[in-house]
Amino acid sequence: MKYALLGIGQAGLRHYEAFERIKGIKLIGFTEFDQKKAKKFSKKYNVKKYKNLNEIINLKPDFIIIALPHSFRVKEISLCCKNKINLIIEKPLALNINQLKLIEKYISSNKLIHTISFVHRYRKEVLKTKNLISNNYIGGLKFISEIMISQKNALLPKWIDIKKKSGGGVLLYNAIHSIDKLCFLANSNIDYVFAKKTNINKKIDVEDVITISINFKNGLLANLIAVFVPYKTTPKWETKIFGVSGQIDINIRKGLVLIKNNKIKNFDYSEYYKKKWSKL
C-alpha cells in the first residue's frame, strides 16, 4: 500500500513513525507549509515534497493522512472524498459545526474508509477496562469521573492558541480524547452536556481550563475536567468508573485497578509502555 501525508508537524511525524513499522506500506509524498522543515524531512527520509493536494492525488495513493492545522481541513477532506480516497484525519474532524456540515455530505455519501485519529481508546488499559465492563465485572455503569491535567509543551505549534485557526484550546487539543474515551466506555451516544471554561493563561485566545458534565442516552453520568497549565505541574490522566457492584480506576500509561467484593486487583502495564517507547 502507498500513502501520502499532509503536514509533518508533531502529529504528522507520529503517523509517519508508526507506519514505518508496518511492512508493505510506503510514504510516496507529502505537503508542508514550513519549507525549512519540509526540506529537512525530504532529505532525511528520501521522500518527495509536493506543492499541493492535487499533485498528491495524481499519485493515486491508497490513503492520505491529514495532519494539518484545524482551519486547513475542509477543502482537503472534500477534495479527497470527491476523488474517492480513504482518509486518516487528525482530531478534530473540523474547526466548528459549520465546517462539519460542509464536509458531512462528502464523507457520508462515499463508501470509503474515513477515520479520525482517536488513538487512546486502543491503549491496553482502556481495552482491558472495556472488556471488564462488557463482561459485567462491575455491573451497570452509573458514573465516570475523568481528570486530565498537563503542562503545555513549549514545542507545540503556536496556532493552537489562536481560536480562528484551532477552534478551541484544551477541549479540542486534549480533552477531545477524553470525550471519545468516555463514549467508548459508556457504549452510548451523548444526550446533552453542560460546560464551563476559563483561562489560567490570559495571554492566549482559547480556553486552557474546562469542566463538562455529560449525560449519556443510556442514563450514565460523567464529569470531565481538563487543564492545560503554562507552568510545571503534576500531570494526571485518571478515570474512575463506578458501577452498581464495583469500580475501575484507569491510570493512563500505567494500568488499572479493579475493585470488587472488597477486593482489589491490579493490572500493571507500566513495563509494556517502557518497552514500547524505548523502541520509538
Reported confidence tier of residue 109, pLDDT bands at 50, 70, 90: low
- Sign of the torsion formed by the C-alpha atoms of 108, 80, 174 and 206: negative
Q: How does pLDDT run across 232-273, given as a tens digit for each residue?
A: 999 999 999 999 999 999 999 999 999 999 999 999 999 988
User: For strand 26-31 and strand 209-216, is the pairing parallel, antiparallel, or unpaired?
Assistant: unpaired
Would you list the domain boundaries of the chain?
Answer: 2-116, 121-278
On the question of a common fold for 2-116 and 121-278, the answer reads no
For residue 134, the model assigns a pLDDT of 97
Residues 6+ apart with CB under 8 A from 244: 138, 139, 140, 142
CATH of domain 121-278: 3.30.360.10
What value does the mean pLDDT take over residues 129-135? 98
Reported confidence tier of residue 274, pLDDT bands at 50, 70, 90: confident
Largest interatomic CA distance in the chain: 62
Reported confidence tier of residue 96, pLDDT bands at 50, 70, 90: confident
Q: What is 2-116's CATH number, 3.40.630.10, 3.40.50.720, 3.40.50.80, 3.40.50.460? A: 3.40.50.720
For residue 157, the model assigns a pLDDT of 87
How far, in Å, CA of 252 to CA of 250, rounded?
6
**pLDDT of 128 higher than 80:** yes
**pLDDT of 111 higher than 80:** no
Reported confidence tier of residue 40, pLDDT bands at 50, 70, 90: very high
